[in-house]
Structure 1
């Protein structure tokens, strides 16, 4: 079993980014939507003056954005992935890809028709983030969903050459259980935080759990 892709989301300070950059993550998420972790592109620009991303890629997270809003962000930052986390339609994702030339991912909530929802975006999305959803939030709830579907959604995405990340309540304490289900990608924010900030110790522990499972699977 190969190492899963890792995305640390919700980096909301220079210190967060520095901690995430020093990790083994593949993607670093920045939130440009209503959230306690929302950032402004001008601030991120300043942080990046002192940070070398290396091979790590930045993912910009939006919720029901206007096209102009997305373009403004990517004009200021070296964004590699646009992640849509709201009620966006497939046609909008296609427009994003055409206008920006970037990879576009669609976050979808875990429910009984999740495979049909994935099919609806097959022609528009380059990847999926399967997350928990509540009445109060589109995602980023810090709550897990029923992981019995993880292998099914991962395989479904893979058959169509799409990436698939599992989000929602991941942490060093439960990632070993998730790894048994063969996820392709892991996406988390609060699970590697201490008092609202990215913790190098928690990141190290999380990655040790992932790699230890990898070597014994």
Structure 2
């Protein structure tokens, strides 16, 4: 399956660089580019890409607003691009529904892998970067389905709670499988069920719930 990608960044050289790197992946196709948030929304409506690489700071509509608008009509996986790991706007981007974020210094293999990861339904949860962002973001409101008793995690089995805890520490499905001595497919199944039971969008939101409900410490 070919993954279609839309590039949204106000710097032509950045878009050109990402386009060149992504085209080296035989399973990835860049279907369009945008230099503003408004252009990104229009392109997403027309092209319906699988993944969008979205810059935060662009003229006119910013990447956060564009992310929110796009996800209102198209279930794309959106990766936020930022220059600084501690960019405050990343928090708002996650709330808007972004599947993760990357710094623009990412290496070529990392960029292509990131596109494949979110296209497969996972989220970018790098232990060294995203966990810090999510840890801070956990103190902020998030749309999640609360259980009648007030403990959202009560709907999970003991094994699912353990898997969610490991996800929140930044482990991948393969890492979780090794930790719990189960198959990667079983680990993925537990993650998928936890996401469904908690009524959250993806792994990022799953981690936020884990922090908010005290399953892991900040």
Relative contact order (C-alpha < 8 Å, sep 6+): which is higher?
1
What's the TM-score, normalizing by structure 2?
0.35
What's the TM-score, normalizing by structure 1?
0.35
The structure where strand makes up a greater share of residues is: 1
